[in-house]
């Protein structure tokens, strides 16, 4: 069998040297010429094969790869394993077209960084680019060519488990993070041995799932779609993202995976995106479950109409597409276009010339020292100091004994967060290890879990209370398990799970000052903690270096600078809650007939953009470059920020606007700029922002982008609720 294949290959070499398996398309000429050449030699079944993706490698799949019936596999990792599988495609298939290996590299490959919601809280696009570059380096060395990331779905609902994977509630911050992540994964040249293709997902509006229930439907105005949910995608496309994934959800009655309005018209038409689109896992098949397609044949046709180029784990294209072409239902030209897009991605990666990963590079780069150091740095830059009464943090030198309590204090797995690729618990530095390491010989650290994350058992309380009583400070690490976040992990309650709050109450009752460290993939509603616990650090799921990063912040070796990328509600009943809400005709007042709750204020517990530091910053000198501008003009807004405290620190300065009167009612505030400044004690810096048509416009009733005349208010501040305020006028024509 082997021999026969070898002989056949030899004959091919004699007759058509350029089609030698393993060197398919590897001749000179432009990529387009090479693609044309390949396409001209592909059978219809081989073309369809390029559009088919399965998860994992099995012997059955080996036969399909050999026959050119698979174009991509996900979840095939490890240089040697990936090479073994690749060899089948390159050396044993008729045309030798390499496979594309994809994986969910969401926040690191083996070195695990904080969850994306956390790194978005750094408000530091350069940091985010640098960690995605590390993720790309490790992944590519392990044979991965393509990540299903970044997930850039705007999410205003912390019940939705996948809020952990995105950049939170704001389109402007979300757009900055989307572009930063794409740049990090892809760099300038994805053919480089340390880069991978990015995939913007899940197109589109998946984050608006009704009631925060995963896979649920979405009903949105076109304006909300364009103003809130699309900007991160536009930014990702503009940053050069090679691919995009269609979502599971319905959007206004039409499944996202067959949505010709959002895909053909907006993405391909208005934005000119010509990368390839992969479905989400069986989302083409789910057109049938949705009641949008009668059967697989119709599902395939509808998905092809929406230019979904690759079928992830659906078996729909594999089973239907060739027949549909033969029956003249789907034009072969449409299949050719999809194949072209997939082949272009493979060419851009250099796979036709270098299809294999290098195992020695893999060994050299996985968990490289600088990667691990970057994970620690990213984790501490992602943490948000929510509250710090009486300057309890950083821990004072007088602290001689620490009671480290809580179910996540000595945990490894959960610090990794959801979708942690090849991250391993054994690589994780626990909070206990980080705190013990930092405490050194002079401060004693005792530990008791007190409870588990989810169970109602209070047996461990007594021990936790006992160690708290004998300590100068109690640090309580609580939150949620990693698998309670991410896909299929929606919650109806945002209270701390299990008896964790009761555990904190019991520890608090000892009178020992309490620091709460929250590890979660979403905001929890923690009004009791906010009222009673003096210091609260939102540490998210911080990744492999989480414990060291927590210690860095607790002792003030690192001064926290994170700011919330998502509002923290007082109660699940306020959800969805977000700062850029529309104005109502009856804003809340003491009057009965106004827009409010009977039992809670409308305001969040901690607003978007909030985050404390160990130093203080004073804002002053708000200066606008003019009082009025033309509709197509620009205005600059500047302010000074001074570090008025005793330690160096970084501040994220935020710029918000509001268009007071417009043909379409505008949100109460919209983020339109941000910048980080690092200041020594006493140091002052002037920050400057420019506002122009891109920032000041709106989608008018005709759905056109327009800057409308009138008064604009502008704030430069330290959260979405506080800042210096000014105003200017946009002149009419
Ligand atoms: C998720 C995607 C993911 C895919 C492959 C799906 O269930 O929705 O985000 O990329 O699985 O793992």
Cis peptide before 576 (omega within 30 of 0): yes
Confidence category of residue 25, pLDDT binned at 50, 70, 90: low
Mind giving me the DSSP string for 552-600?
A: HHHTTSS------SSPBPSSGGG-S--SSPBPPSS---SSSSSS--SSS
Protein residue with its CA nearest to atom 6 in ligand 1? 281
Contacts of 88 (CB under 8 A, 6+ apart): 62, 65, 66
- Answer whether residue 207 shows pLDDT above 70: yes
Quick: pLDDT tens for 214-254. Answer: 999 999 999 999 999 999 999 999 999 999 999 999 999 99
Nearest CA to ligand 1 atom 2: 280
Ligand 1 center–CA 232 separation, angstroms = 19
DSSP three-state, residue 441: coil
Work out which ligand 1 atom sits closest to the CA atom of 199: 10
pLDDT digits (tens, 9 = 90+) for 141-159: 999 999 999 999 999 999 9
Nearest atom of ligand 1 to the alpha carbon of 149: 10
* pLDDT single digits (tens) 84-114: 999 999 999 999 999 999 999 999 999 999 9
Residue from 148, 153, 279 to probe ligand 1 pocket by mutation (most atoms less than 8 Å from CB): 148
Mean pLDDT, to the nearest integer, of 511-527?
Answer: 98
Evaluate whether 561 touches 430 at the Cβ level (below 8 Å). no
Protein residue with its CA nearest to atom 12 in ligand 1: 104
CA 60 / ligand 1 centre spacing (Å)? 23
Measured in Å, residue 142 CA sits from the centre of ligand 1 at 20
Bridge partners (DSSP) of residue 617 are: 643
Instruction: Report how far ligand 1's centroid is from the alpha carbon of 377 (Å).
Output: 28
Counting residues of the chain whose pLDDT is more than 70, the rounded percentage is: 96
728 CA distance to ligand 1 centroid (A)?
46
Ligand 1 site residues (CB inside 6 A) read: 74, 104, 148, 201, 280-281, 487
Atom of ligand 1 nearest to the CA of 201: 9
Residue 498: is its pLDDT beyond 50?
A: yes
Is the pLDDT at 73 greater than 60? The verdict is yes
Is residue 453 within 8 A of residue 406, CB to CB? The reply is: no
> What pLDDT is stored for residue 42 in this prediction?
98
522-543 per-position pLDDT tens digit: 999 999 999 999 999 999 999 9
The pair of structure tokens assigned to 138 is 């490790």
Q: How far is CA 24 from CA 67, 97, 340, 354, in A?
A: 15, 6, 14, 11
For β-strands 705-706 and 698-699, DSSP reports them as: antiparallel
User: Strand, coil or helix: what is 712?
Assistant: strand
pLDDT band at residue 60 using 50, 70 and 90 as cut-offs: confident
Helix ranges, 421-532 (H): 431-439, 461-469, 500-508, 527-532
To test ligand 1's pocket by mutation, which of 54, 249, 281 has the most ligand atoms within 8 angstroms of CB? 281
Give the per-residue pLDDT at 24. 55
pLDDT surpasses 60 at 334: yes
pLDDT tier, 27 (very low <50, low <70, confident <90, very high otherwise): low
% of the chain residues with pLDDT over 90: 95
| 194 CB neighbour count, 10 Å cutoff | 16
**195 near 254, Cβ under 8 Å?**
no
Six-digit token pair at 511?
Answer: 């009178």
pLDDT higher than 70, residue 594: yes
Sorting pLDDT into bands at 50, 70 and 90, what band is 22?
very low
Residue 255: exposed, middle, or buried by beta-carbon count in 10 A (0-12, 13-18, 19+)?
buried
Name the residue of 487, 488, 490 whose CB sits within 8 Å of the most ligand 1 atoms, as the mutation to test its pocket.
487
Task: With a cut of 50, say whether residue 409 has pLDDT above it.
Answer: yes
Q: Output the CA 48–ligand 1 centroid distance in Å.
A: 22
How much is the average pLDDT of 602-612?
98
Cβ pair 161, 482 in contact under 8 A: no
Residue of minimum CA distance from atom 4 in ligand 1:
281
Atom 11 of ligand 1, nearest CA residue: 281
pLDDT tens per residue, range 74-88: 999 999 999 999 999
Give the separation between CA 532 and CA 575, rounded to whole angstroms: 23
The Cβ of residue 597 has, within 10 Å, a number of other Cβ atoms equal to 12
Mean pLDDT, range 701-724, rounded to an integer: 98
The per-residue pLDDT for 29 is 84
Residues 73, 60: Cα–Cα separation, whole Å: 13
**Model pLDDT, residue 178:** 99
Using the mean position of ligand 1's atoms as its centre, give its distance from the Cα of residue 283 in Å. Answer: 10
From the alpha carbon of 75, which atom of ligand 1 is closest? 12
Ligand 1 centre from 183 Cα, in Å? 21
Q: Is the model's pLDDT at 5 over the cut of 60?
A: no
Average of pLDDT values for 583-607?
96
Using CA positions, which residue lies closest to atom 7 of ligand 1? 281
CA–CA separation, 582 and 572 (whole Å): 20
The string of DSSP codes covering 79-90 is: HHHHHHHHHHHH
Is the torsion defined by CA of 170, 168, 650, 385 positive or negative?
Answer: positive
445, β-bridge pairs:
402
Q: What is the mean pLDDT of the chain?
A: 95
| Ligand 1 binding pocket mutation candidate from 106, 279, 280, 312 (most atoms within 8 A of CB) | 280
**Overall average pLDDT of the 12-21 stretch:** 32
Q: Are strands 670-679 and 649-659 parallel, antiparallel or unpaired?
A: antiparallel
Could you give the residue numbers annotated as active site? 280
């Amino acid at each position: 069998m082997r021999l026969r294949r070898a002989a056949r290959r030899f004959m091919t070499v004699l007759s058509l040297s350029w089609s030698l398996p393993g060197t398919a398309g590897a001749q000179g000429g432009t990529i387009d010429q090479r693609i044309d050449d390949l396409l001209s030699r592909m059978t219809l079944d081989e073309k369809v094969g390029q559009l088919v993706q399965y998860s994992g490698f099995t012997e059955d799949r080996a036969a399909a790869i050999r026959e050119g019936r698979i174009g991509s596999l996900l979840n095939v990792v490890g240089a040697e394993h990936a090479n073994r599988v690749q060899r089948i495609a390159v050396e044993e298939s008729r045309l030798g077209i390499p496979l594309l290996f994809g994986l969910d590299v969401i926040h690191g490959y083996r070195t695990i960084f904080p969850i994306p919601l956390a790194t978005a809280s750094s408000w530091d696009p350069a940091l985010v680019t640098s960690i995605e570059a590390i993720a790309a380096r490790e992944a590519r060395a392990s044979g991965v060519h393509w990540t299903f990331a970044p997930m850039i779905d705007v999410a205003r609902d912390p019940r939705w488990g996948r809020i952990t994977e995105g950049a939170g509630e704001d389109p402007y911050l979300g757009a900055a993070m989307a572009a930063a992540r794409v740049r990090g994964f892809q760099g300038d040249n994805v053919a480089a041995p340390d880069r991978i293709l990015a995939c913007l997902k899940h197109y589109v509006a998946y984050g608006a799932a009704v009631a925060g229930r995963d896979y649920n439907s979405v009903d949105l105005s076109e304006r909300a779609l364009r103003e809130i949910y699309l900007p991160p995608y536009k930014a990702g496309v503009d940053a050069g993202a090679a691919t995009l994934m269609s979502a599971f959800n319905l959007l206004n009655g039409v499944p996202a995976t067959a949505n010709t309005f959002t895909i053909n018209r907006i993405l391909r038409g208005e934005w000119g995106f010509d990368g390839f689109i992969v479905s989400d896992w069986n989302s083409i098949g789910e057109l049938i479950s949705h009641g949008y397609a009668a059967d697989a044949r119709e599902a395939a046709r509808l998905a092809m109409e929406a230019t979904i180029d690759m079928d992830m784990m659906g078996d729909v294209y594999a089973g239907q597409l060739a027949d549909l072409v033969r029956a003249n239902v789907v034009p072969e030209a449409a299949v050719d276009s999809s194949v072209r897009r997939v082949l272009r991605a493979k060419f851009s990666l250099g796979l036709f010339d270098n299809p294999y990963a290098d195992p020695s590079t893999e060994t050299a780069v996985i968990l490289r020292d600088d990667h691990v150091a970057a994970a620690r740095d990213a984790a501490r830059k992602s943490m948000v100091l929510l509250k710090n009464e009486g300057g309890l943090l950083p821990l004072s030198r007088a602290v001689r004994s620490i009671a480290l309590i809580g179910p996540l204090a000595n945990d490894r797995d959960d610090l990794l967060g959801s979708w942690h690729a090849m991250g391993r618990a054994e690589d994780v530095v626990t909070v206990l290890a980080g705190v013990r390491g930092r405490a050194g010989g002079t401060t004693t650290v005792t530990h008791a879990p007190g409870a588990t994350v989810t169970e109602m058992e209070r047996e461990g309380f007594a021990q936790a209370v006992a160690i708290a009583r004998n300590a100068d400070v109690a640090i309580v690490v609580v939150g949620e398990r990693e698998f309670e976040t991410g896909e299929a992990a929606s919650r109806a309650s945002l209270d701390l799970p299990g008896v964790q709050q009761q555990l904190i109450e019991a520890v608090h009752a000892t009178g020992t000052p309490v620091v709460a460290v929250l590890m979660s993939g979403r905001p929890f509603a923690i009004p009791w903690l906010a009222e009673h616990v003096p210091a609260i650090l939102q540490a998210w799921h911080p990744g492999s270096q989480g414990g060291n990063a927590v210690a860095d912040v607790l002792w003030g070796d690192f001064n926290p600078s994170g700011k919330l990328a998502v509002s923290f509600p007082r109660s699940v009943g306020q959800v969805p809650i977000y700062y850029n809400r529309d104005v109502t005709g009856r804003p809340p007042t003491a009057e009965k007939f106004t827009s409010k709750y009977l039992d809670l204020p409308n305001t969040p517990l901690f607003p978007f953009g909030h985050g404390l530091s160990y130093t203080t910053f004073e804002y002053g000198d708000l200066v606008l470059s003019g009082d009025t501008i033309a509709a197509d003009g620009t205005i600059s807004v500047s302010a000074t920020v001074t570090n008025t405290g005793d330690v160096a620190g970084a501040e994220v300065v935020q710029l918000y606007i509001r268009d007071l009167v417009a043909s379409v009612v505008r949100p109460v505030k919209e983020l339109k700029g941000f910048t980080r400044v690092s200041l020594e004690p006493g140091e002052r810096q002037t920050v400057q922002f420019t506002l122009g048509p891109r920032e000041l416009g709106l989608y008018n009733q005709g759905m056109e982008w327009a800057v409308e005349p009138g008064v604009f208010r502008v704030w430069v501040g330290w959260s979405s609720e506080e800042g210096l305020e000014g105003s200017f006028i946009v002149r009419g024509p």
